[in-house]
Structure 1
Amino acid sequence: MWCFIKHPFGRRLESLSVVEGGIIRSHLSMRFWLFLCRETADAIVTGRGGQVERLVVAALEISSSTTQLLVSSRVKASTTSKCLAGLENAAKEVSKMTGKVVAAANNASSTDKQLDNMDFAKLSFTQAHKEEVDTQVRVLELEAQLTAERMRLAGIRRFNYSNSAEFEQVRPRRCSP
């Protein structure tokens, strides 16, 4: 089975096997998520409004892409390949580091939320009721936004799945077996 690599402008560059296509696709995915992770972390550190949740998603996708790359490489490489052994070690390290990034991001997020907690004992009955209504409205707005974003995500995934055979060409580095 063969898949065709297409240039972004639609020209066919070369045909590769499905396994090679999977390796290239996982590499491109990893490259994208690494860029997003770096940009998000930079925005968070410099105070430009980066979202911790975006950092967590990017880190988890990096780990997923690394696993996909490893699985695709296992199919293509020989079992005694030094590059495959190095890739397996790197995948383990990526998984460990991803766990650390996610844990640190969740810890920072929970610390921020604890600082935002309000002391309700100081509120009058009317103020507390107003806060309750405002919070309920905010929850309903967020639920509607979440539903819309889930539908958007499903559409993006549907599009990506139907167009998964078209991606840019990357020249993989050759390793000795």
Structure 2
Amino acid sequence: MRHAAGFTLLEVLIALLVLALGLIGGTAMQLHAMRTRHESALLSAAVQIAAGMADRMRANAAQVPAVYLGVDYDAHANPVPVAPESTCRLGPCDPAGIARLDVHELGRQVRAALPAGRARICRDAQMYAGGRLRWTCTGGASDPVVVKIGWRGRRPDGTPERDGQGGRAPGVAVAVAGAWP
């Protein structure tokens, strides 16, 4: 019976090692699931913001060339969006005032919902470069109007998400249908 001394201790140590590896694997899966849930929540918020802005632009189509086009709000560079002169609450508001209020609301929503978010409205016929969305716009007069929204996302390995030019890639791009003056 002396030859089996310590064998049970070895079995216990191996069982603890297997249990520890299982716990580490379970924790890694849980962290990955949490990161994925967070990214999907950000993507959902960005889609809602972009779709809402597209609806506002369609409702106030005459102001697309004058006010909406050229919007480029970056919450990282400008933490507080520039407030319009009028909030259109105390009296009548012209279409340009409503458009400026819409742009302010877009900046406020991006700042509140996305980590270091960015929103850009422009004409762009080539939204993708190398299979990824990009911030630059072609700007042609006949190009579709696009609402692009993004944030400072991270890949699963923790490195920053980048576009083809080395900058942050947009998370969402919504082409706005409509006839613009």
Normalization by structure 1: what TM-score? 0.29
Bigger relative contact order (CA 8 A; separation at least 6) = 1
Pair member with larger Rg: 2
